[in-house]
Amino acid sequence: MLLNAKPIVERKMNELRMRVEKLVEKPKLVIIRVGNDFASGKYVNNKVKRCDEAGILSEIVHFPEDVESSVVESKILELNQDPETTALLLQLPLPKHLDEDYLTSLIVAEKDVDGFTTLNMGKLVLGQEGNVACTPYGIIELLKAYDIAIEGKDVLIINRSNIVGKPLAHLFLKENATVTVAHSKTRNLEQKVWDADIVVTAVGKANMFSELHFSPYTTIVDVSINFDENGKMCGDVTKSDYDRLVEKHCNITPVPGGVGQMTVSSLIEQAIRIKERE
């Protein structure tokens, strides 16, 4: 089965609109963007579009590529104190002269809509309520929407980043899955892929996996956004193998149309949740 996110996101956006209507004040999401990275621009525009659909306010603070770190730092500290700013995010990646970890750490935990700060990551590890990284949260929501069992399943996550792999591992543990995190130094990766019930791949290598890598009835979550030799968007799993995967009773998230859409809707939901907590 193709795990298409579109119907899930449309239903979620309708629910979010109703939640916003119940609030006395609309939430406001502020996005800090640095430079003119093409992909970042598309992501930011999509976030603003979804904010409009949900009925929440949004603002983009756009700095030039060569902005000094102190300028970005001052803006973050200002927005931390701004009562009208409900949620704040620093669009990544940043130009190389800026320290992503340091600047992200300046965002006050309550407004950290990406869930990247030390406090929110720590709360996730300890099982406490906090803001959760949006891509991992969206993945769990997508699996649940399609009634894919997680409890007791063997899950393989091929990524150990702070944005995807690490927070996702803890979310799967919360759902009582047995989790293995793989990376570039992992041995016997192909066997681990074959043995897993759920495989999450976020390697960033076009066509790294074919249908031959997966055993029947595997659920495959393809997080990566790559471009093939023809400039077409694709994931880590060969797109032409989708039909063969479905024939062997596998589930797979398509690229595009899968995890990316869930990430944005999860971001909007988290901004609303922050407002509801106030």
190-216 exposure pattern, b = at least 16 Cβ within 10 A, e = fewer: eebbeebbbbbbbbeebbbbebebbee
d(CA 230, CA 234): 10
* From 28, 91, 241, 261, active-site residue: 91
* From 112, 114, 236, 241, active-site residue: 114
- 47 an active-site residue? yes
Q: Please, what is the end-to-end C-alpha distance for the chain in angstroms?
A: 40
- Cα dihedral sign for 238, 243, 247, 251? positive
| Contact between 207 and 242 (Cβ < 8 Å) | no
Task: Give residue 152's region: left, alpha or beta (phi > 0; psi -120 to 50).
Answer: left
Q: How many CB atoms lie within 10 A of CB 65?
A: 12
- 91 an active-site residue? yes
Element containing residue 124 per DSSP (H, E): helix 118-126
- 261 an active-site residue? no
* From 47, 111, 166, 275, active-site residue: 47
Q: Which residues are catalytic?
A: 47, 91, 114
